[in-house]
Amino acid sequence: MGTKGREIVGMDVDHVVELLNRAFADEWLAYYQYWLGAKIVAGPMKEAVITELMEHAADELRHADMVSNRIIQLGGTPVTTPKRWFDLTNCGYDEPSDPFVRAIIEQNIKGEQCAISVYHALIGEVGFKDPVTYNMAVQILQDEVEHEEDLQGMLEDLTVMLKR
Ligand code: FE
Ligand code: FE
Ligand code: MG
């Protein structure tokens, strides 16, 4: 990366890269969980749920892109093999073994809540010591908060519908 851009980072750059690689692994696993969930989901409101899951999958892939760009800017290397995603992940991967809409939505809500905690902690740790990473993490956090809200809204609609 640019030497001045690296110099202004007021904390251990390798540590920031490590935190970002953990988030990077999370984003790929979240992407795949949404992508596969959209393929296999079954039950009421299926079409609306598929649309939402595919939108979120695209957002998670975009987050992976944002995080990897920042890793590279900091002179790091985005984790080079999917095998390591499970060593690094904060939020893990919830296998969608039950394709019912409620189960898929609940699993993804759990994933979003973990992502919100991870980016909130990252923002707290990095703060103004690394304003560029901070700004990126705030942008991603805004999306994750929106994702949680969307999914909880769909779960409410589904609950109302199933009660009738
Ligand atoms: Fe994300
Ligand atoms: Fe998300
Ligand atoms: Mg959405």
Q: Are 78 and 68 in contact (CB under 8 A)?
A: yes
Phi, psi of 91 (to 5 degrees): -105, -10
Classify residue 115 as exposed, middle or buried by CB count within 10 Å of its CB (0-12, 13-18, 19+): buried
Q: How far is the CA of 1 from the centre of ligand 2 (A)?
A: 28
| The predicted structure's pLDDT at residue 1 | 64
Q: How far is the CA of 51 from the centre of ligand 3 (A)?
A: 9
What proportion of the chain, given as a percentage, has pLDDT over 70? Answer: 99
CB neighbourhood size of 7 (10 A): 10
| Model pLDDT for residues 10-58, shown as the tens digit of each residue | 999 999 999 999 999 999 999 999 999 999 999 999 999 999 999 999 9
DSSP for 91-126, written as a single string? S--------BHHHHHHHHHHHHHHHHHHHHHHHHHH
Is the pLDDT score of 4 beyond 70? yes
3-state secondary structure of 42: strand
Q: How far is the CA of 109 from the centre of ligand 2 (A)?
A: 9
- The correct CATH number of 23-163 out of 2.60.40.1180, 3.50.50.60, 3.40.50.970, 1.20.1260.10 is 1.20.1260.10
Q: How far is the CA of 143 from the centre of ligand 2 (A)?
A: 6
| Model pLDDT for residues 65-97, shown as the tens digit of each residue | 999 999 999 999 999 999 999 999 999 999 999
Q: How far is the CA of 4 from the centre of ligand 2 (A)?
A: 32
